[in-house]
């Protein structure tokens, strides 16, 4: 990935230009012909290699209007003792641990700053290079904002509980009950940073007939941070963290039916969670929605009932071309076909623009008050 045409970060001209861009985007976006805005996109993979930023702009082309921009905060270790001369590029490629790679934030910022202003306006970089089990995580985020003012719109995607990943991370395991997460979300609310949080709603291969293990902890955390705008990635599901179904057994008490869509509806109607949104990113989530006509109708009905609370994202990692970028979008075609025009626009584009435009304005205001001009 090349760096070219870089402008000096932190300069007054750059700072002012970014503020102006944040204010000018919404009106132009109203009339754009794009299919969607991508609320969940990884430019780089687990060994910090990915798509060149100029190539990604070309991949977006006339199909993707705007996109989040982040790497992956974890680096897969290449342990010669574990895999020899084979260099793993994915967390399932070896038994070696993962570790947090903070340089990803500088890399994303430099890639973004290498673009001309009109292309930057289409991207919302996110800070990910922190350990959410570290009480200093919030300090890392604050330091990144002060180093690269005018660049970032939020934090994430970062993970607390994630199937197969959490157990591979070196050091202390992240937890929803760790005060480090509260400190991080406190600062996100203060600075206006949009939060993209990955947290599996249940343990891998967890029982489907009882309340998901992490549901109550997650709701407690969310309720403690009403000032933060939080997007729950993949609605809490994964490859093997499946939608719950059926009724509770005699040995497990749940609040209501544990069916996943019902759980989402409970959160969407909870006035203490009005700051919570869900992204419908990842092909693994799409498979649940389009599994059969009944699941497709149910997914569409939920989106139509709460059109302002869902955002589409691909969760693509370093796509090769536009076809790869659009593949996840088209997996949702059966659901999109059953949405009202208003809901379809909101989920595909409108909610992204509303949430991230507001995030840009709030973060730029925090920077204006807290960043010393160079």
Cα 70 to the center of its chain, rounded Å: 9
Given 3.40.50.150, 3.20.20.140, 3.30.420.40, 3.40.800.20, which CATH number is that of 37-79+86-370? Answer: 3.20.20.140
pLDDT of residue 208: 74
pLDDT of residue 32: 67
Cα angle: 336, vertex 338, 339; to 5 degrees: 70
Contact 350, 85 (CB under 8 A): no
Q: Report in angstroms the alpha-carbon separations of 58 from 51, 108, 288.
A: 11, 17, 31
Domain locations in the chain? Answer: 37-79+86-370
pLDDT of residue 38: 98
pLDDT of residue 209: 75
Find the helix or strand (DSSP H, E) in which 277 lies: strand 276-279
pLDDT of residue 112: 98
Q: Which of 337, 339, 313 is nearest to 326 (CA)?
A: 313
pLDDT of residue 31: 60
Which token pair is 274? 């009005």
Q: Which of 115, 212, 213, 131 is nearest to 178 (CA)?
A: 131
Residues of the chain with pLDDT under 50: 1-29, 246-258
Q: Taking the C-alpha atoms of 149, 155, 156 and 158 in order, what is their torsion angle to the nearest 10 degrees?
A: 120
Q: Whole-angstrom Cα distance, residue 240 to residue 6?
A: 43
Q: Which DSSP string do the residues of 31-92 spell out, in sequence order?
A: T---SEEESSEESB-TTS-B--HHHHHHHHTTTEEEEEEB--SEEE---HHHHTT----STT
Tell me the per-residue pLDDT of 246-274, one tens digit each, with 9 for 90 and over.
Answer: 333 333 333 333 389 999 999 999 999 99
pLDDT of residue 21: 45
Predicted TM-score of the model (pTM): 0.88
Q: Report in angstroms the alpha-carbon separations of 60 from 8, 38, 174, 241, 280.
A: 26, 9, 34, 31, 19
Which token pair is 162? 């994630």
Contact 24, 121 (CB under 8 A): yes
How many residues in the chain? Answer: 374
Q: Whole-angstrom Cα distance, residue 234 to residue 278?
A: 7
């Amino acid at each position: 990935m090349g760096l070219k045409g870089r402008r000096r970060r932190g300069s007054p001209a750059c700072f002012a230009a970014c503020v102006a861009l944040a204010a000018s985007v919404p009106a132009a976006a109203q009339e754009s012909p794009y299919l969607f805005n991508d609320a969940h996109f990884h430019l780089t993979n687990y060994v910090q290699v990915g798509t060149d930023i100029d190539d990604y702009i070309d991949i977006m082309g006339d199909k993707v209007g705007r996109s989040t921009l982040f790497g992956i905060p974890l680096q897969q270790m290449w342990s010669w003792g574990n895999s020899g001369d084979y260099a793993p590029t994915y967390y399932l490629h070896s038994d070696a641990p993962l570790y947090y790679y903070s340089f990803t934030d500088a890399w994303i910022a430099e890639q973004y700053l290498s673009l001309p202003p009109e292309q930057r306006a289409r991207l919302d970089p996110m800070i990910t290079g922190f350990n959410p089990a570290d009480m200093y995580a919030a300090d890392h985020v604050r330091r990144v904002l002060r180093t690269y003012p005018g660049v970032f719109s939020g934090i994430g995607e970062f993970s607390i509980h994630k199937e197969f990943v959490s157990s591979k991370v070196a050091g202390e395991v992240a937890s929803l009950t760790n005060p480090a997460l509260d400190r991080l979300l406190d600062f996100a609310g203060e600075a206006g940073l949009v939060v993209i949080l990955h947290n599996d709603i249940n343990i891998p291969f967890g029982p489907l007939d009882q309340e998901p293990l992490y549901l109550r902890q997650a709701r407690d955390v969310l309720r403690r941070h009403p000032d933060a705008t939080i997007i729950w990635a993949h609605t809490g599901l994964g490859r093997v963290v499946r939608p719950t179904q059926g009724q509770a057994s005699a040995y497990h008490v749940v609040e209501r039916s544990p069916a996943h869509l019902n759980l989402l509806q409970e959160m969407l109607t909870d006035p203490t969670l009005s700051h919570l949104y869900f992204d419908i990113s990842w092909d693994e989530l799409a498979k649940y929605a389009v599994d059969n006509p009944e699941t497709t109708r149910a997914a569409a009905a939920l989106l139509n009932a709460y059109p302002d609370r869902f955002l589409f994202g691909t969760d693509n990692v370093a796509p090769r071309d536009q076809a790869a970028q659009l593949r996840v979008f088209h997996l949702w075609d059966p659901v999109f076909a059953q949405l009202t025009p208003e809901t379809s626009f909101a989920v595909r584009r409108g909610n992204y623009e509303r949430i991230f435009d507001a995030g840009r304005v709030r973060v730029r205001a925090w920077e204006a008050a807290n960043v010393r001009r160079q």
